[in-house]
Amino acid sequence: MIDTMIPYGKQDINQEDVDSVISVLQSDWLTQGPKVPLFEQTLANKCQAKYAITVNSATSALHIACLALEVSKSDIVWTSPITFVASANCALYCGATIDFVDIDLSSGNMSTRILTEKLKQAKQKNCLPKVVIPVHLAGQSCDMQAIYQLSQEYGFNIIEDASHAIGGSYQGKPIGNCQYSDITVFSFHPVKIITSAEGGMAVTNNADLAKKMQLYRSHGITSDPEEMTEASHGPWYYQQIALGFNYRMTELQAALGVSQLKRLDHFIAQRNKIAKIYDVAFKETDITPLIANKDCLSAYHLYLILLPEANSEQHKQVIITLREQNICAHVHYIPVHLQPFYQNLGFKQGDFPNAEQYYQRAITLPLHPKLTLQEQNYIIDKVKALL
Ligand SMILES: *Cc1c(COP(=O)(O)O)cnc(C)c1O
């Protein structure tokens, strides 16, 4: 009945997207033209943030966000162990020390209770983090108000990794408004909610952080006379005042991003509709979807279910069997601290027990705007038959 693999996630590209990219190819600007600022302005408006800085990936956005917050060698950064490796790597790029805060099993997000405990202990040992990076797993916001209150008490900065969460909301306000954080980061990789092929964005309400991120995105070079150490030599003049990178997004990517952004609300509605059908289907079963927080509208980047018990052999068999039936079930994520690179830094099995239990229970089922009801019913039948 289903003869090609149903992917767990997939981009949705229409003719308008195609035309917008082609029109850039035929224009004068392939990079550093008008589309990047347009994408930034449109996205900043959409998520009610003051400033937006577009870059070539969310990984780059996380890096310049850390740099703007002056994360360096003597600093400590905390994130969730259940995330893509980039959420942790950004701290290491700055020479900082990374540590993790275990998750709440019901939501998969960083546990506020465990964060509170860890902060108390860190204060006693005089090793508080400079930055905490909560990750909105699957598109559902972390408990940002509580994390913000802790940041006021313990004096750390916050970067929201909202790579999964563009278009979602928290307490009725769009994710990215930075009410409870310094900087929020989005990803536009094709499996995410909207795409620019590769791409990312950092948003903030802080003018100084915005200025620094703009600098780090493009070699640390400025053309603003106000920023320079001496009077301009002439109209060609620029100065390098920091060590930056080439993290710029192209005009082709920005045009695609602008075009995709027009359908963001539609994508979110579609993803929530599909998630609801799964929720209803699994209601009277042993399968537990990640809990939906009442304060949040999830962007539903992923649909995650938990098996009733942590049994790595059964977990593996379910995923293999689903794949044999052309359902590309997946796991998001392998706990970052168990990656060989991180184990070499000293992390080990047992460090974050909730994350490790989650890893043996979590399965990602296909969810994307183009998933048909027929495909979804097929997936539901196969999953139910297996469990
Ligand atoms: C995808 C993702 C990233 C990295 O995004 P890129 O745009 O591919 O660099 C970072 N964090 C999380 C949680 C992600 O899912």
| Cβ atoms of 100 and 91 closer than 8 Å | no
> 141 CB less than 6 Å from ligand 1?
no
Predicted pLDDT of residue 2: 81
> 200 CB less than 6 Å from ligand 1?
yes
> 189 CB less than 6 Å from ligand 1?
yes
CA distance readout (Å), 65 to 101, 161, 185, 358: 20, 10, 8, 29
Return the ∠ at Cα 308 (arms to 118 and 99), rounded to 5°. 20
Residues of the chain within CATH 3.40.640.10 domain(s) are 15-261
Query: Residue 1 pLDDT more than 70?
Result: no
Pocket test for ligand 1, best of 187, 304, 331 (most atoms within 8 A of CB): 187
Q: From the CA of 163, how far away is ligand 1's center (Å)?
A: 5
| Cβ atoms of 218 and 60 closer than 8 Å | no
Q: From the CA of 184, how far away is ligand 1's center (Å)?
A: 12
Percent of the chain at pLDDT exceeding 90: 98
> 194 CB less than 6 Å from ligand 1?
no
Q: Of 3.40.50.1360, 3.10.180.10, 3.30.360.10, 3.90.1150.10, which CATH number belongs to 264-386?
A: 3.90.1150.10
Nearby residues of 94 by Cβ (< 8 Å), 6 or more positions away:
63, 66, 67, 71, 72, 73, 75
Predicted pLDDT of residue 359: 98
Closest ligand 1 atom to Cα of 60: 9
DSSP secondary structure string for all residues of 99-138: EE-PBPTTT-SBPHHHHHHHHHHHHHTT---SEEE-B-GG
> 325 CB less than 6 Å from ligand 1?
no
Q: From the CA of 188, how far away is ligand 1's center (Å)?
A: 8
* Mean pLDDT within 333-340: 98
Query: Residue 384 pLDDT more than 90?
Result: yes
Q: What is the mean pLDDT of the chain?
A: 97
Query: Residue 277 pLDDT more than 70?
Result: yes
* Mean pLDDT within 215-231: 95
Amino acid at 161: D
Q: Of 1.25.40.320, 3.40.30.10, 3.10.20.740, 3.40.640.10, which CATH number belongs to 15-261?
A: 3.40.640.10
> 84 CB less than 6 Å from ligand 1?
yes
What SS3 class is residue 160?
A: strand
Residues of the chain within CATH 3.90.1150.10 domain(s) are 264-386
Mind listing the pLDDT tens digit for each residue in 12-24?
Answer: 999 999 999 999 9
